[in-house]
C-alpha cells in the first residue's frame, strides 16, 4: 500500500515518529503520576509488593493448585503476624531509644560546648541557646506557634500526615490483594498488546529488566535486614548508646548504596558525647570511644561487601561504583527519598534498553559506508 515513502502515511506509521510518540506518552504518564503522589503512591507500593511476591503465588498455583486468592491471603496473614510480633518486641525498644536520644541531645550539646568553650567565638551565643534548650526544650519551638495562622498550619500538617498514614494502612493491603491475585493476567494482557513482529524481542528485554529489578530489590532488602542485625549487635557489644536505633537506621540506609557509611561517625559521636556527659576521661577511654564502634561497623561492612554482595552477584545490575554514585545523586536530586531508593533499578532498566535498542542501531549506523 505504501510503496512510496511518505505518501498517504499517517505520522504514527513512520517508525521514528511513532517511537518518539510512545516515549513521550510514557514520560507524560510518569510525570502525571509523579504530580499526584497522594493518590498513586499507595497504588505504586501495592503494585511493587505484588510484583515481588508474584513468582511465589504463581509457583503455588502451578505446583500445588492452590488458588491465587488463598495464597495471597495466607501471605498477608503471615506478614501481618510477623510485623505485629516484631512490633510488640522491637518497636517499644526503638521508640524508647528515640525518645531518650531526643531528650539527651540538648544535654550532649551543652556538655560539649562546656568542654570546648575556648574554641567558641565570644560573639556567638551558642551556650546561651543550649542553656535555654536544656532548661526549657520547648522554648525554641515557641516561635513556630506565634500567631493563630501558624499554629493552625502546623496542626493541619500533622492532621494531614495522620490521615494519609491511616489511609495508606487501609488502601495498600486492599490494592495489594487484588494486584497480587491478578498480576499474572495483567502481565499477559500487557504482552498481548505488544505487536507480534516485536513481541519476542520485547518479552526478552522485559525478562532482562525483571531479573535486574527483582534481583536488586531482594538483594538490598536482604542486605538491609542482615546489616541491621550486625550493626545493632556490634554496637551493643561496644556499648554505643542507642545501639538498636542506630543499627536499624544504618541498616535501612544500606537500601541506598554507600549511604550506610553515615552510621560510622554517628556511632563514634554518640559514644563520645555520652562519655563527655558522664564525666569520663576521653583521653584514656579513646579505645572504647573510637576503636570498638569502628570495629563493629567495619565488620558489618566486610560481611556486606565480601560475603553478601558476592553471594548475590548474579542479581548485579552490572554498573561500576562511579556510575552507581552518579545515578544515586541524580535520583536523589530528581525524586528525593524514592529517587534514592529506585535510582539504580531505573538506571539498570535504561541500560538494558540502550543495549537492546539503541546500541545495535548505532553500530549499524557506524558501519554504514
Report whether 318 contacts 219 (CB < 8 A): no
Report the pLDDT value the prediction gives residue 282, as an integer from 0 to 100.
65
Q: Which of residues 174, 193, 212 is at a domain's end?
A: 193
| Residue whose C-alpha cell is 561492612 | 301
Sign of the Cα pseudo-torsion (218, 219, 220, 226, in order): positive
In sequence order, what are the residues at sequence separation of 6 or more whose Cβ sits closer than 8 angstroms to the Cβ of residue 20?
A: none
Report the pLDDT value the prediction gives residue 215, as an integer from 0 to 100.
82
Say how many domains are in the chain. Answer: 2
Q: Model confidence over 36-59: pLDDT tens digits?
A: 767 788 888 899 889 989 999 988
Instruction: Write out the residue range of the structural domain in which residue 92 sits.
Output: 10-193
Return the top range by mean pLDDT from 118-132, 157-171, 186-200, 312-326. 186-200
Of 46, 38, 42, the closest CA to residue 177 belongs to: 46
On the question of pLDDT at 316 being above 50, the answer is: yes
Alpha-carbon span 346 to 331, nearest angstrom: 9
256 vs 315, higher pLDDT: 256
4 is a domain residue: no
1 is a domain residue: no
Q: Which of residues 141, 172, 193 is at a domain's end?
A: 193
On the question of pLDDT at 111 being above 70, the answer is: yes
Residue 337 sits in the same domain as residue 261: yes
113 is a domain residue: yes
Residue 70 sits in the same domain as residue 214: no
Q: Model confidence over 208-226: pLDDT tens digits?
A: 999 888 888 888 888 899 9
Residue 220 sits in the same domain as residue 162: no
H helices of the chain, in order, are 15-35, 37-64, 68-115, 126-135, 148-192, 196-237, 243-253, 263-277, 286, 292-303, 309-311, 321-353, 359-367
332 is a domain residue: yes
Residue 250: CB atoms within 10 A of its CB come to 26
Residue 24 sits in the same domain as residue 154: yes
Residue 134 sits in the same domain as residue 181: yes
Residue 97 sits in the same domain as residue 228: no
Q: Which of residues 177, 193, 209 is at a domain's end?
A: 193
Residue 145: CB atoms within 10 A of its CB come to 12
Amino acid at each position: 500500500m505504501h510503496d512510496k515513502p511518505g505518501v498517504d502515511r499517517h505520522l504514527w506509521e513512520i517508525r521514528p515518529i511513532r517511537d518518539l510518540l510512545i516515549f513521550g506518552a510514557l514520560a507524560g504518564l510518569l510525570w502525571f503520576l509523579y504530580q499526584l503522589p497522594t493518590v498513586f503512591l499507595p497504588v505504586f507500593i501495592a503494585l511493587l509488593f505484588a510484583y515481588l511476591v508474584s513468582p511465589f503465588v504463581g509457583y503455588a498455583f502451578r505446583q500445588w493448585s492452590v488458588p491465587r486468592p488463598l495464597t495471597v491471603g495466607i501471605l498477608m496473614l503471615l506478614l501481618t503476624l510477623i510485623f505485629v510480633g516484631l512490633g510488640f518486641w522491637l518497636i517499644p525498644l526503638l521508640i524508647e531509644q528515640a525518645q531518650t536520644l531526643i531528650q539527651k541531645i540538648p544535654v550532649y550539646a551543652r556538655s560539649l560546648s562546656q568542654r570546648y568553650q575556648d574554641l567558641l567565638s565570644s560573639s556567638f551565643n551558642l551556650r546561651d541557646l543550649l542553656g535555654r534548650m536544656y532548661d526549657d526544650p520547648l522554648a525554641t519551638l515557641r516561635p513556630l506557634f506565634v500567631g493563630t495562622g501558624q499554629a493552625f498550619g502546623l496542626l493541619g500538617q500533622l492532621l494531614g500526615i495522620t490521615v494519609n498514614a491511616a489511609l495508606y494502612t487501609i488502601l495498600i493491603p486492599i490494592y495489594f490483594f487484588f494486584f497480587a491475585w491478578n498480576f499474572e493476567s495483567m502481565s499477559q494482557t500487557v504482552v498481548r498488546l505488544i505487536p507480534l513482529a516485536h513481541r519476542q524481542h520485547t518479552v526478552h528485554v522485559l525478562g532482562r529488566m525483571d531479573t535486574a529489578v527483582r534481583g536488586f530489590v531482594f538483594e538490598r532488602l536482604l542486605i538491609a535486614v542482615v546489616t541491621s542485625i550486625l550493626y545493632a549487635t556490634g554496637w551493643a557489644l561496644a556499648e554505643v548508646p542507642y545501639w538498636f536505633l542506630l543499627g536499624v537506621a544504618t541498616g535501612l540506609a544500606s537500601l541506598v548504596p554507600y549511604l550506610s557509611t553515615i552510621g560510622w561517625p554517628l556511632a563514634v559521636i554518640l559514644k563520645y558525647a555520652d562519655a563527655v556527659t558522664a564525666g569520663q576521661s576521653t583521653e584514656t577511654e579513646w579505645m572504647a570511644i573510637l576503636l570498638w564502634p569502628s570495629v563493629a561497623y567495619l565488620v558489618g561492612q566486610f560481611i556486606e561487601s565480601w560475603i553478601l554482595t558476592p553471594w548475590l552477584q548474579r542479581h548485579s545490575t552490572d554498573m561500576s561504583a562511579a556510575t552507581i554514585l552518579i545515578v544515586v545523586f541524580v535520583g536523589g536530586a530528581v525524586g528525593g527519598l524514592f529517587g534514592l531508593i529506585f535510582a539504580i533499578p531505573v538506571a539498570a532498566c535504561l541500560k538494558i534498553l540502550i543495549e537492546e535498542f539503541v546500541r545495535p542501531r548505532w553500530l549499524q549506523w557506524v558501519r554504514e559506508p
